[in-house]
Amino acid sequence: MIDTKSIVARNITELRIQSNLTQMELAEKLNYSDKTISKWERGESSPDISVLVQIAALFGVSLDRLVSSEAITEDEQKSPPDAPKYSRRAISYISESAVLIVATLAFILFSLLLGCMTFQWLFFVYALPVMLIVKLVLNTLWFNPRRNYFIISAFLWATLLSIHATFLYLGRNIALIYLLGAVGQIVVILWSFIKKPRA
């Protein structure tokens, strides 16, 4: 008698390893806990049919192949429809660097036009929150969404730093604005506990 549970367990493990994913990364993509993935891979339990369909689509194989007793080779694995043709990480770094390039160009342009240094250094301060917005968008689309909480926290503090630096340039010290950051940070931490993975 064919043990379907162990076949599915072996195939999920092989596909995950071939895709260079950890159990945690696969769990996050499927919105399950890594303990559940571990149970599937040990054959202690099996995913529902709807989850098997999701896994097959994620790894670019057919559902029949996912439950087949023959081993799945890397050549058989089709690229999923959303598979990148370029390095997403490189695109992300280039996009974030583009913000710094724009800030540098603005710094040089205004320095040349004005002939003296006044407020131009603020362009680099303003570039920080903009870079973090770019990072947040690309991380949400392509990478681990759980890192968004760290990016949002960094964005919060970078925005407050930008506001504080602007007021310092204008001759006003509004250091108390960082109290908003403390409250905002508490909200971000609490928000991170709202969505829990399925068991």
Q: Could you report the per-residue pLDDT of 174-186, keeping only the tens digit for each?
A: 999 999 999 999 9
Crossing angle (nearest 10°) for helices 148-169 and 178-191? 170
Report residue 198: phi and psi, to 5°. Answer: -70, 145
CA 72 to chain centre: 28
In a domain, residue 83? The reply is: no
Segment 46-51 mean pLDDT? 87
Q: What is the mean pLDDT of residues 119-135?
A: 94
| 59 shares its domain with 92 | no
50 shares its domain with 94: no
**Residue 15, both tokens:** 């596909």
Q: Are residues 123 and 184 in the same domain?
A: yes
Domain extent at residue 48: 4-66
Does 197 fall in a domain? no
Q: What is the mean pLDDT of residues 25-29?
A: 86
Rounded to whole angstroms, the Cα distance separating 26 from 58 reads 9
Residue type, 93: Y
Pick from 63-77, 109-123, 143-157: least confident: 63-77
**Do 59 and 95 belong together in one domain?**
no
Residue 1 pLDDT exceeds 50: no
Q: Return mean pLDDT, the chain.
A: 85
What amino acid occupies position 19? S
User: How many structural domains compose the chain?
Assistant: 2
Domain co-membership, 92 together with 62: no
Q: Is the domain of 110 the same as that of 61?
A: no
DSSP symbol at 109: H
- 142 lies in some domain: yes
